[in-house]
Amino acid sequence: MDIREVVKMYLSVNGITITHFSKCIGRNYAVVNKWLNGNPEIKMKEDTMKRIYAFLSGKYYLTVDEAIETGGDEKTCK
């Protein structure tokens, strides 16, 4: 299965928006959306791919204590 399909499935199953995913991996929403939809002109650099794999492994989730500490502000990924 292509990594794009894995990401789309992961986001869908977990109720995560592309906007949130984009913020966590440090890329523009439009670029990520095009990449997820298979645009051949969009290539992710190695450092971005590392962040994508880290996201899929849960690295960017906040713990309960971190979520309480932020008070629900805009910081939703580490």
Would you kindly state where each structural domain of the chain is located, as residue ranges? 3-70
Q: What is the mean pLDDT of the chain?
A: 90
Q: What percent of the chain has pLDDT over 70?
A: 92
H and E: helices and strands count for the chain: 5, 0
User: Is the model more confident about 74 or about 34?
Assistant: 34
pLDDT at 74 over 80: no
State the CATH architecture for 3-70: Orthogonal Bundle (1.10)
Q: Tell me the per-residue pLDDT of 28-60, one tens digit each, with 9 for 90 and over.
A: 999 999 999 999 999 999 999 999 999 999 887
Alpha-carbon span 54 to 40, nearest angstrom: 23
Residue 59 contacts residue 70 (beta carbons within 8 Å): no
Q: What DSSP designation does 74 have?
A: S
pLDDT at 66 over 90: no
Q: Quick one: angle between helices 18-25 and 46-56, nearest 10?
A: 120
